[in-house]
Chain A
Amino acid sequence: GAVVSQHPSRVICKSGTSVKIECRSLDFQATTMFWYRQFPKQSLMLMATSNEGSKATYEQGVEKDKFLINHASLTLSTLTVTSAHPEDSSFYICSARDSVDTEAFFGQGTRLTVV
């Protein structure tokens, strides 16, 4: 299957700092990328959908000024968690697909811990 690479896999940051997570599609053009957050023992919650060259569409309840998403190219999307707080500690996962008819492939996920 297609490869989606997400970095870093694990990050610890201090409260109040910002963290950037990268998601790259390695062997296909990712027209659309999705960002999810998953808390322990819970399912994936969609945070936002980003299409290349467009502003991201955020789900209800997700602060767009806090979770900045950039999808500047067909192979790269970034999620920046700004002014992180301990409650932002979670497993963040990106997924990418090349068209609405195809399946989405997931990155390895990023375990964020804010201390």
Chain B
Amino acid sequence: QKEVEQNSGPLSVPEGAIASLNCTYSDRGSQSFFWYRQYSGKSPELIMFIYSNGDKEDGRFTAQLNKASQYVSLLIRDSQPSDSATYLCAVASYNQGGKLIFGQGTELSVKP
């Protein structure tokens, strides 16, 4: 089992819709959870991080964490074509020195 798993997609949604990206992780000791966006040929940029169970909202983005289910998600409301990118879920655990372990990424395509 991979440490961090995501659906590779591609996930296609129409402009204005809600895009839902999911991620599961295997290390129950994980403490920090991050969502990065990566455009083709570029390095990842941080969208959001979440440490506690529940929801965390920032503009059009909402991260949801459920540690009991070892599940973290990212919702993008009012999706725009500029949101088309690969979204990477990353998990950090103090047990592993805090290193970031990435999922394989989900490719999102927002159609005008």
Contacts and interface: CB of A to CB of B under 8 A. Distances in A.
Interface string A1-15: 100001000000000
Interface residues of B, number: 22
B42 interface: yes
A32 interface: yes
Contacts of B32: 101, 103
Nearest to B36: A106
- Most A CB within 10 A of own CB, among B88, B92, B97, B99: B99
Contacts of A106: 36, 43-46
Q: Size range of the interface on A?
A: 20 to 34
Contact residues of A: prevailing secondary structure:
strand
B14 interface: no
Contact of B100 (A1, A101, A104, A107): A104
Nearest to A95: B100
Interface in A1-41: 1, 6, 32, 34, 36
Interface of B: 32, 34, 36, 41-46, 49, 88, 92, 94, 97-105
